Structure 1
Amino acid sequence: MGNKYSGLQIGIHWLVFLLVIGAYCAMELRGFAPRSYRPWFNMVHVSCGISILVLMVTRLLVRLKYPAPPIVPKPKPMMTGFAHLGHLVIYLLFIVLPVIGLLMIYNRGNPWMAFGIVMPHAAEANFDLADALKSWHVTLANLGYFVIALHAAAALMHHYFWKDNTLLRMMPRKRS
């Protein structure tokens, strides 16, 4: 086993990173654009969310097949436990968040778009369910800011404070 994640794992990690930025930006910045652009921002948000869901499930399956490369020097067991807990939270968040979002827009009963394609919707709207799902979606999305910040801070702490190879394991390979 090498000292880095596989190219596939590294690629998925950084692609998900970019898609998460896209999803969050689409929602945060839509208020600055004319109202007529809102469907476009919503489509970008939903398309990023679906892509994140597919990539996170793929990443989880790949992660089950290929174990993580060792951290050198080896951290204390408590640190390893926190790392596993943090990664579990990230996997759950970025799988559950898009699922809840998809269920929410499906149950609104209105046409919606992803990747420029009109998607199926419930024949009859269930606004109570859609509102409850929206509340969960917004809460988890806001929690996502904290989780992402904690993940990035931990990677930087590993690199600059504990001086191990945690961050380097996920960095893209240099071309020769």
Structure 2
Amino acid sequence: MIFRNSRDRYGNFVVALHWLMLVLLAAVYASMELCGFAPKGSELRANMKSLHFLLGLSVLALVAVRLCVRWVAGAAPAIEPPMGRWPALMARLMHAALYALMIAAALLGWLALSTAAKPVTLFGFALPMLTSANEALAHPLKDLHEALATAGYALIGLHAAAALLHHYVVHDNTLVRMLPRRGSR
């Protein structure tokens, strides 16, 4: 089944969700970074911000899907050769931090927009405001959202660096378990 993990690899759907999340997160970051090149008050800038909001909320939705699929997929494939206790703990903490980042950044962005009384839409549907307007709270929430986004660069970079370290230095199957399967030749 495409959802189930095997003993040595993640299921196809789990792998697809992982790499889709990477593309989605890259688009979230790119939309906001590129927004800075558009003149303030321009339609392009407004569209880039809207795209950022849409993508950020899409991350939140995809995290929910990933967590459900992770539960259905079963145990993660074993790392061969096995990691020690401390590296395994660090890996679990990194994954928890990444999930917390994706959830908290999206919710803080939505909350910051709500407190600034800015409408939030997802695929054309207006989402409910999470709270009433509160200009005094809007700016600190936006600052916290941006601080988490900055921390996200470091977390994502560390995650990628760890995968490469496992593959090229430790020589275990950590990275290979998450790569898409190659077609038979």
The answer, yes or no, to whether TM exceeds 0.5 is yes
Identical pairs, percent: 40
Normalised by the size of structure 2, how large is the TM-score?
0.88
1:20 to 13, 22, 25: 25
Pair 1:55–1:37, CA change in 2 (3 A):
same
TM-align CA RMSD: 1.8
Query: What one-letter code is carried by the residue in structure 2 that aligns with 1:13?
Result: H
How far apart are the structure 2 equivalents of 1:49 and 1:2?
33
Runs of 4+ residues deviating >6 angstroms: none
User: Corresponding residue for 1:32?
Assistant: 37
User: Corresponding residue for 2:137?
Assistant: 129
Pair 1:164–1:44, CA change in 2 (3 A):
same
User: Corresponding residue for 2:86?
Assistant: 78
> Which deviates more from structure 2 when the two are superposed, residues 69-78 or residues 109-118?
109-118
Number of aligned residues: 176
> Which deviates more from structure 2 when the two are superposed, residues 157-166 or residues 2-11?
2-11
User: Corresponding residue for 1:53?
Assistant: 60
User: Corresponding residue for 2:12?
Assistant: 7
| Pairwise CA distance, 1:132 | 1.8
Pair 1:61–1:119, CA change in 2 (3 A):
closer
Normalised by the size of structure 1, how large is the TM-score?
0.92
**Is the 2:79–2:173 contact (alpha carbons within 8 Å) kept by the matching residues of 1?**
yes
How far apart are the structure 2 equivalents of 1:78 and 1:123?
41
| Pairwise CA distance, 1:134 | 0.5
Question: Which structure carries more helix by proportion?
Answer: 1
Consecutive unaligned residues of structure 1, counting only runs of 5 or more, are: none
How far apart are the structure 1 equivalents of 2:133 and 2:15?
40
User: Corresponding residue for 2:103?
Assistant: 95
